[in-house]
Structure 1
Amino acid sequence: MRAPRMKMPVVLTQRADFLAAAKARRQGTSGFLLQARHRSDDGPVRVGFTCSKKIGNAVMRNRAKRRLREIARLGLLEHARPGWDYVLVGRPGATISRDFADLQQDLTTALSRIHK
């Protein structure tokens, strides 16, 4: 019997949404950088993921994004607020090598600091 899948937040795809989040609030953690902005509507939580070439080759960047997507799937909807956009930016070395439980804790901590 399979475990029930948790719902994934709406994923950002437009460059303008990423740029708007980059100009808003930021909270750095050991594993990644969280950028967040409050939209003018009370729509659903939206999330985006990005990793630059500083992370490494395509295999490393995709691995980092997979890890970021999974921590967002597991913990973002619990702690996020409606009407907000969040962008998780991978960090060279840390996003891939950091323990997964520590990445999840980083997300919880970053969200609580963003919303203080």
Structure 2
Amino acid sequence: MSPNNDMETLMLALFQTIDLALNLYTWVLIISAIFSWLYAFNVINSSNQFVGAIGSFLYNVTEPALRPIRRILPNLGGIDISPIILLLLIFFIRSLMWNTIYPLVA
């Protein structure tokens, strides 16, 4: 293998890893939104310790990314569209990464 080919393989692996992390975070955001709806409508037992642990984990993982978006968005009453904005941002980053940045470095 040539050094150029090694670098291209390394960049591909890096981009695939970043893409996988963004994809996993997308699913965590979706699960967190569904969990919050189930919790709000009392579908799941809020006094269950396991449910509380899952809710706490999801909150701790998603809130640092959602908080800055919530600060920027106007108050829409009881509707929180920050997860949708973050999902759109992740989609944009993934598209930019594969369609613009990766072809330049590979």
- Fold conserved (TM > 0.5)? no
Q: Which has the higher contact order (CA 8 A, sep 6+)?
A: 2
Greater C-alpha Rg: 2
TM-score, normalising length: structure 2: 0.30
TM-score, normalising length: structure 1: 0.28
In proportion to residue count, which structure has more strand? 1
